[in-house]
Amino acid sequence: MIPVILSGGSGTRLWPLSRQLNPKQFLHLADPDLSMLQATIKRLEGLDVKSPLVICNEQHRFLAAEQLRKMGTAKILLEPVGRNTAPAIALAALQSVTDTSDPILLVLAADHFIQDIAAFQSSILSALTLAEKGKLVTFGIPPTRAETGYGYLEIGDVEGGLGYIVKHFVEKPDSVTAEKYLTSKRHYWNSGMFMFRASRYLEELQIFRPDILAACKDAISLGSSDLNFTRVDSAAFAACPDESIDYAVMEKTTDAVMVPLNAGWSDIGSWSALSDVCKKDELGNVFKGDIISECTTNTYINSNNRLVATLGVDDLVIIETKDAVLVAHKDRVQEVKKIVERLKSDARSEHSAHREVYRPWGMYDSIDNGHRYQVKRITVEPGAKLSVQMHHHRAEHWIVVSGTAKVTNGDKSYLVTENQSTYIPIGQIHALENPGIIPLELIEVQSGSYLGEDDIVRFEDKYGRVC
How many structural domains comprise the chain? 3
243 and 285 housed in the same domain: no
**Domain annotation covers residue 346:** no
Helix (H, G, I), strand (E, B) or coil at 45: coil
Q: In this structure, are 292 and 364 located in the same domain?
A: no
- Using DSSP's 3-state secondary structure scheme, residue 22 falls into strand
Q: What is the distance of C-alpha 376 from the center of its chain?
A: 26
Strand order, beta sheet including 373-380: 356-359, 362-370, 373-380, 440-448, 394-402, 421-424
Give the SS3 label for residue 39.
Answer: helix
Burial class (CB within 10 angstroms; exposed 0-12, middle 13-18, buried 19+) of 46: exposed
Please indicate, yes or no, if residue 85 is contained in any of the structural domains: yes
AA identity, residue 35:
S
Please check whether residues 82 and 206 belong to one and the same domain.
Answer: yes
Question: Which stretches within 157-257 are classed as H helix?
Answer: 175-184, 198-208, 210-221, 234-238, 245
Rg of the chain in Å (alpha carbons): 24
Does 466 map to a domain? Answer: no
Assigned domain for 279 exists: yes
Do 138 and 127 meet the contact criterion of CB atoms below 8 Å apart? no
Report which residue type is found at 91: L
Tell me the backbone φ, ψ of residue 191, rounded to 5 degrees: -80, -25
Q: What is the pTM of this model?
A: 0.90
Which phi and psi angles does 446 have, rounded to 5°?
-100, 140
Same-domain pairing of 299 and 362: no
Question: Do 135 and 243 belong to one domain?
Answer: yes
Q: Which domain holds residue 112?
A: 2-266
Give the alpha-carbon dihedral of 273, 274, 275, 278, to 10 degrees.
130
- Eight-state DSSP code of residue 13: G
pLDDT by residue for the chain (467 residues), tens only, comes to: 999 999 988 889 999 999 999 999 999 999 989 999 999 999 999 999 999 999 999 889 889 998 998 888 779 999 999 999 999 999 999 999 998 999 999 999 999 999 999 999 999 999 999 999 999 999 999 999 998 889 999 999 998 889 999 999 988 999 999 999 999 989 999 999 999 999 999 999 999 999 999 999 999 999 988 777 899 999 999 999 999 999 999 999 999 999 999 999 999 989 999 999 999 999 999 999 999 999 999 999 999 999 999 999 999 999 999 999 999 999 999 899 999 999 999 999 899 988 888 899 999 999 999 999 999 999 999 999 999 999 999 999 999 999 999 999 999 999 999 999 999 999 999 999 999 999 999 999 999 999 998 999 999 998 888 76
Q: Are residues 195 and 282 in the same domain?
A: no
Domain stop point among 282, 306, 338: 338
Same domain for 195 and 222: yes
Q: If DSSP codes are grouped into helix, strand and coil, which group holds residue 253?
A: coil
Residues 296 and 251 reside in one and the same domain: no
Q: How far apart are CA 25 and CA 268, in angstroms?
A: 10
Q: Are strands 2-7 and 104-109 parallel, antiparallel or unpaired?
A: parallel
CA 273 – CA 30 distance, rounded (Å): 11
Neighbours of 281 (CB within 10 A): 11
Whether 212 and 232 share a structural domain: yes
- DSSP state, residue 425: -
Does any domain span residue 395? yes
Same domain for 371 and 409: yes
Could you tell me where the DSSP H helices lie in 15-60? 36-42
Note whether residue 51 is domain-resident.
yes
The 8-class DSSP code of residue 322 comes to: S
Q: Provide the CATH number for the domain around residue 62.
A: 3.90.550.10
Q: Are residues 203 and 128 in the same domain?
A: yes
Flag whether 57 is in a domain.
yes
C-alpha 146/C-alpha 66 separation (Å) is 39
DSSP string, 324-377: -EEEEEGGGGGGHHHHHHHHHHTT-GGGT--SEEEETTEEEEEEEEETTEEEEE
Residue 319: CB atoms within 10 A of its CB come to: 24
- Taking only the tens place, the pLDDT of each residue in 139-148 is 999 999 998 8
Q: Report whether 68 contacts 307 (CB < 8 A).
A: no
**How many CA atoms lie less than 13 Å away from 42 in the CB half-sphere?**
18
Handedness of CA 245, 340, 275, 302 (dihedral sign): positive
Same domain, residue pair 306 and 394: no
Distance CA 393, CA 448 (A): 6
